[in-house]
């Protein structure tokens, strides 16, 4: 994705509800945002990194009552927990907004009034299924029972059909404008698969949105009609503009709006990719550049939830492994859009192998040699040979790729590249065996060169690592006697040899102690009272790989097919009927891809089909083949080709 030439960078996290204390999921979003903010600062950009808390609404009101507190008292208590965790995680936010702050409430009311005056908000009545016990309208997608009523998904009780007066936002009027915007800004939502999901949702039609409640008292009052409070999502989304000065600091606002990136979890994509741009269009604001939706962290394959008792306490992990180990693990383990599963084995393995071995040992070994052989003062090294030059060249290549990945927000790929370079450095040491050179007095200068190269490599890698592991980079600089500040990273070009030959090198301690898996598991179990899935069971769960022979594979007739006509299968959400050209013949297939692609998206596209699959009848229509697609959370993603290929070409 192209980087904007602008000199500022504005990144936000969602604002977290205060009915719950922070857990790993919240930490994840905030760590991603922090790494992005730190990287942009290194590039010399003026950064505003916003996080905060979402403090209004029925959920908070209810939770406060249960705890015998006022909602404000509850919010005040939980905010301390969030701020404390962000400090432990080394989060460099510029502002922590609370939606109960006066300037925010006034900003929201002002926008509400403006939209009301111009007719984008109107008064009407809201009819919906209401759960008396939960005091809540059910979301519209709760299905109707055959008996004609709905059941509350939270408590299972029968809901009643209720009508209440409400103000509505004229969302339906923005349907076309949104579709036009998505078309002209195809990277607005990332990853791309999520963009498709948003577009198909909007294409299905948007209804006006009820944005006030008379049943909720803990909220911002509607200006001029205080019986109503403003719906918590209308209130919360506007934090992104009120925090940076809307209505109180025009200069700050002009500097940072529109946001470069709103980081969110996939569960709140519609609010950010549909409602938020529509609100902004109505208010006459520019739209943010990107909404980046990340996946969920699961625990031992199951979604974390309070009721299952499998919510991971970040403090426990921080006490055990340290801030940077947690930051590294969360960002390295998965690409930003996918779900990740937190297992004790996976975590301990990553820490021990990547951090204790690859990085920690490299630093410790190299510094120990510099201290033991040269008392921490390297003499002038011998001339470089080809292998030395090759290591420096590899660093330059790594650096270029790491910057590209950081620019593209592919943090896990950036880390992979850094670790690949660390493995090359470890190999360089193994190949040149400085411990052997140390016993040969005539090789002193060569020894100094080998250690110097390794020190330069460590130093270079430590700068590249800084956005993700700032504490570790700082520790390494201190050990290396490195006087520079990270702010010089990109402005100075980060030259491999820019290290003022180690004059004050310290003996390293283990910067990442190894973690003992069994101890880690038993301590977790003691703390949570929940049994962890043991290693053996986890392994057994992993399906045994069953190999097929090449002969078996060859039985499949895989062909390139081109779509010549496409339509939806009536009465279904998922199915498309496609007429395909297979070179020598035309066929019809039924494909479960309608939630990701519209018929127009697929017209003239080419993909792979299994041509000799036994025909099947799906919803009464014959399907003569099957297309290949990846499935991410029930969405089918078709692999397309990067050039045109004659239909019927064999794929093998
Ligand atoms: N208050 C709203 C956001 C308003 S933004 C204008 C909200 N708050 S939340 O506290 O429930 O969730 C905040 C974020 O945490 C969401 O993006 C959600 O996806 C993320 N996570 C909560 N649990 C998670 C995991 N287990 N894994 C990853 N992130 C998840 O929604």
Domains 343-542 and 550-637 share a fold: no
For ligand 1, pick from 25, 75, 107, 300 the residue to mutate: most ligand atoms within 8 Å of CB: 25
Q: Mind listing the pLDDT tens digit for each residue in 152-197?
A: 887 888 998 989 999 999 999 999 999 999 999 999 999 988 999 9
> Do the beta carbons of residue 220 and residue 229 sit within 8 Å?
yes
Distance 394 CA to ligand 1 centre (A): 39
pLDDT of residue 359: 97
> Does residue 466 surpass a pLDDT of 90?
yes
| Tokens matching residue 501 | 């030959």
> Binning pLDDT at 50, 70 and 90, where does residue 278 land?
very high
Residue with CA at minimum distance from ligand 1 atom 19: 265
Residue with CA at minimum distance from ligand 1 atom 21: 25
**Separation between Cα atoms, residue 253 and residue 241, nearest integer Å:** 7
**Separation between Cα atoms, residue 460 and residue 399, nearest integer Å:** 9
3-state SS, one letter per residue, for 18-68 = CCCCCCHHHHHHHHHHHHHHHHHHHCCCEEEEEEEEECCCHHHHHHHHHHC
Q: 44-58, 534-548, 600-614 — which is least confidently predicted?
A: 534-548
> Does residue 581 surpass a pLDDT of 80?
yes
CA gyration radius, the chain: 29
Residue with CA at minimum distance from ligand 1 atom 18: 265
> Do the beta carbons of residue 167 and residue 219 sit within 8 Å?
no
The CATH number corresponding to 550-637 among 2.40.50.140, 2.60.40.10, 2.30.30.90, 3.40.50.2300 equals 2.40.50.140
> Does residue 410 surpass a pLDDT of 90?
yes
Report residue 151 CA to chain centroid gap.
33
> Does residue 391 surpass a pLDDT of 90?
yes
The CATH number corresponding to 343-542 among 1.10.730.10, 3.30.70.3270, 3.40.50.1820, 3.40.605.10 equals 1.10.730.10
Residue with CA at minimum distance from ligand 1 atom 7: 16
The residue ranges of every structural domain in the chain are 343-542, 550-637
Reported as type and span, the H/E element at residue 418 is helix 411-432
* Residue 599: CB atoms within 10 Å: 15
DSSP assignment string, 267-279? GGHHIIIIIHHHH
> Does residue 1 surpass a pLDDT of 60?
no
Atom of ligand 1 lying closest to residue 237 CA: 6
Give helix 276-283 / helix 102-117 axis angle, nearest 10°: 70
Within 6 A (CB) of ligand 1 lie 14-17, 25-26, 28-29, 54, 236-237, 239, 264-265, 267-268, 296-297, 304
pLDDT of residue 619: 77
Q: Mind listing the pLDDT tens digit for each residue in 587-638?
A: 999 999 988 888 999 999 999 999 988 888 777 788 899 999 987 766 788 9
pLDDT of residue 510: 82
**Residues 6+ away with beta carbon under 8 Å from 465:** 415, 418, 472, 473
Distance 26 CA to ligand 1 centre (A): 6
**Residues 6+ away with beta carbon under 8 Å from 247:** 103, 106, 107, 110
**Separation between Cα atoms, residue 489 and residue 549, nearest integer Å:** 51
pLDDT of residue 36: 97
pLDDT of residue 537: 45
Give the 3-state secondary structure of residue 644.
coil
Q: How large a percentage of the chain has pLDDT more than 70? A: 92
Distance 327 CA to ligand 1 centre (A): 18
**Cα angle 239, 242, 245; round to 5:** 145
> Does residue 301 surpass a pLDDT of 80?
no
Distance 68 CA to ligand 1 centre (A): 25
Helices then strands, each counted (H, E), the chain: 25, 25
User: H-type helices in 483-593, by residue range?
Assistant: 488-491, 517-528, 535-541, 550-554
pLDDT of residue 540: 43
Residue with CA at minimum distance from ligand 1 atom 16: 265
Reported as type and span, the H/E element at residue 149 is none
For ligand 1, pick from 22, 235, 267 the residue to mutate: most ligand atoms within 8 Å of CB: 267
Report residue 248 CA to chain centroid gap.
31
Distance 225 CA to ligand 1 centre (A): 31
Residue with CA at minimum distance from ligand 1 atom 22: 25
């Amino acid at each position: 994705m192209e980087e904007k030439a602008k000199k500022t960078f504005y990144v936000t996290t969602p604002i977290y509800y205060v009915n719950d204390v922070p857990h790993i999921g919240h930490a994840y979003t905030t760590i991603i945002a922090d790494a992005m903010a730190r990287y942009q600062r290194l590039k010399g950009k003026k950064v505003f990194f916003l996080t905060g808390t979402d403090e209004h609404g029925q959920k908070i009101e209810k939770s406060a009552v249960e705890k015998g507190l006022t909602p404000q008292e509850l919010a005040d208590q939980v905010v301390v927990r969030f701020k404390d965790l962000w400090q432990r995680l080394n989060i460099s936010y510029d502002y922590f907004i609370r939606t109960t702050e006066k300037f925010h409430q006034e900003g929201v009311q002002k926008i509400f009034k403006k939209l009301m005056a111009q007719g984008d908000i109107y008064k009407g009545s809201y009819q919906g299924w209401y759960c008396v016990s939960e005091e809540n309208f059910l979301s519209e997608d709760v299905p109707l029972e055959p008996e004609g009523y709905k059941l509350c998904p939270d408590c299972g009780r029968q809901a009643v059909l209720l009508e209440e007066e409400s103000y509505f936002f004229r969302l339906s009027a923005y349907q076309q404008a949104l579709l036009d915007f998505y078309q002209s800004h195809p990277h607005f939502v990332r990853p791309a698969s999520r963009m498709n999901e948003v577009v198909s949702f909007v294409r299905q039609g948007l209804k006006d949105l009820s944005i006030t409640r008379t049943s909720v008292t803990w909220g911002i009052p509607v200006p001029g009609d205080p019986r109503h409070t403003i719906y918590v999502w209308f209130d919360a989304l506007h934090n992104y503009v009120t925090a940076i000065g809307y209505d109180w600091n025009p200069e700050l606002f002009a500097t940072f709006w529109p946001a470069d990136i709103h980081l969110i979890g996939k569960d709140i994509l519609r609010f950010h990719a549909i409602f938020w741009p529509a609100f902004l269009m109505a208010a006459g604001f520019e739209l943010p550049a990107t909404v980046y939706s990340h996946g969920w962290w699961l625990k031992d394959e199951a979604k974390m939830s309070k009721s299952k008792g499998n919510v991971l306490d970040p403090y426990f992990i921080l006490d055990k492994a340290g801030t940077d180990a947690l930051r590294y693990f969360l960002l390295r383990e998965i690409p930003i859009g996918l779900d990740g599963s937190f297992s004790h084995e996976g975590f301990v393995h990553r820490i021990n192998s990547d951090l204790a071995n690859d990085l920690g040992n490299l630093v410790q070994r190299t510094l120990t040699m510099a201290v033991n052989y040269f008392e921490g003062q390297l003499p002038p090294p011998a001339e470089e040979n080809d292998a030395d030059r090759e290591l420096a060249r590899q660093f330059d290549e790594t650096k270029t790729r790491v910057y590209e990945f950081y620019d593209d927000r592919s943090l896990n790929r950036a880390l992979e590249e850094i670790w690949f370079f660390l493995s090359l450095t470890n190999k360089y040491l193994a190949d040149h065996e400085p411990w052997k050179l140390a016993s040969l007095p005539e090789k002193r200068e060569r020894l100094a060169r080998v250690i110097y190269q390794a020190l330069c490599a460590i130093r270079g890698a430590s700068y590249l690592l800084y956005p993700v592991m700032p504490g570790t980079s700082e520790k390494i600089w201190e050990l290396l006697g490195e006087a520079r500040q990270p702010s010089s990273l990109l402005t100075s070009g980060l030259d491999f040899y820019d290290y003022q030959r180690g004059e004050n090198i310290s003996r390293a301690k283990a910067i990442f102690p190894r973690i003992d898996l069994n101890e880690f598991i038993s301590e977790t179990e003691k703390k949570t009272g929940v049994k962890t899935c043991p290693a053996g069971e986890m392994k057994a769960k992993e399906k045994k790989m069953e190999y097929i022979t090449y002969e078996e594979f060859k039985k499949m007739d895989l062909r390139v097919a081109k779509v010549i006509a496409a339509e939806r299968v009536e009465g279904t959400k998922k199915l498309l009927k496609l007429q395909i050209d297979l070179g020598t013949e035309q066929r019809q297939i039924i494909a479960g891809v309608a939630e990701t692609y519209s018929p127009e998206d697929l017209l003239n596209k080419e993909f792979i089909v299994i041509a000799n699959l036994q025909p099947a009848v799906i919803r009464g229509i014959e399907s003569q083949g099957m297309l290949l697609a990846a499935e991410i959370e029930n969405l089918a993603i078709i692999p397309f080709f990067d050039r045109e290929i004659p239909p019927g070409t064999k794929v093998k």
